Amino acid sequence: MAKASERARGKSGRIFIGVGGWTFAPWRGVFYPDKLAQAKELQYAASKLTSIEINGTYYGSQKPESFRKWAAEVPDGFVFSVKGPRFTTNRRVLAEAGDSIKHFYNTGVLELGDRLGPVLWQFAPTKKFDEADFGKFLELLPRKIDGRALRHVVEVRHPSFSVPAFVALLKQFETPVVFAEHETYPQIADVVGDFVYARLQKGDDDLKTCYPPKQLDAWAKRFQLWAEGGEPDDLPRAAPPGAKKTPRDVFAYVIHEGKIRAPAGAMELIERVK
């Protein structure tokens, strides 16, 4: 595995690991210490994790002061990913999403400053692959705002996306697809662009570490391999491998099933990739 010194010299990308959100009542007394003030939960979570996926933005607009507040409560080096609004992705014609995308960025997302990581655009399980329309959507995503480079990742949940044409489209726009470890969603591990995004959704609340040690070891090795520019050979792809071998940042989140133990799983993974 690459050591931290190698990552610092540019031989490996950075690895960010966390959970979805930070406000979850069952974490109180399990992840969060007893009697910890709710207002201190983000600060505490950020001291144990290296990233958090903000999902409140999926359901409704946030205010610029909220983004500024969140950025101020996390340490240097901590990065949020931000879920784009459902009003943008849950539409029949994606090519008409331009105004919705502009509105999202006008709500103050960039107030996160250097704490802003990728924006995740999540699509419904019923949304099928339409090459022309999806291409128009990718074309609408801003690559820079006020000189600030932006990162985007898409999460697709219909099996029709597991085709080479989809991967070719992603490569055209240098936009990665989420690798979703899930019982029913398609698993697409094709590497595209300069980062990898994984959502681990098969955890178990009956395990204190969310995943068994062997599975945690395996995921840690995959994260390292991705960061070093490689591609795991034990994950399904939609197209033949062919990504350029170059260091990539990795964003990984332990979410969904086993949510109570998700922070513990994320912390175990952080220890394994140090």
Selection from 214, 213, 211 nearest residue 255 by Cα: 211
How does pLDDT run across 210-230, given as a tens digit for each residue? 999 999 999 999 999 999 999
Helix (H, G, I), strand (E, B) or coil at 221: helix
- Picking from 264, 243, 146, 149, the residue whose alpha carbon sits closest to that of residue 188 is 243
pLDDT of 5: 41
Number of domains in the chain: 1
Range of the domain at 203: 4-272
User: Residue 244's pLDDT is what?
Assistant: 87
pLDDT over 90 at 10, yes or no: no
Cα 153 to Cα 29, 143, 215: the distances in Å are 34, 12, 25
**Among 114, 124, 211, 129, residue whose Cα is nearest residue 167:** 129
Q: Give yes or no for a contact between 269 and 218, defined as CB atoms under 8 angstroms apart.
A: no
Q: pLDDT tier at 11 (50, 70, 90 boundaries)? A: confident
Give the pLDDT band (50/70/90) at residue 256.
confident
Q: At what angle are helices 164-173 and 131-140 packed, to 10 degrees?
A: 20
Give Cβ neighbours of residue 120 (< 8 Å, ≥ 6 apart): 53, 81, 82, 83, 84, 153, 154, 155, 178, 197
CATH number at residue 33: 3.20.20.410
Separation between Cα atoms, residue 99 and residue 245, nearest integer Å: 36
Q: Which two tokens stand for residue 156?
A: 């697709």
Q: What is the mean pLDDT of residues 27-49?
A: 97
Q: Give residue 243's pLDDT band: very low, low, confident or very high (50, 70, 90).
A: confident
What pairs with residue 19 in β-bridges? 52, 254
pTM score, two decimals?
A: 0.95
Q: What is the mean pLDDT of residues 9-14?
A: 80
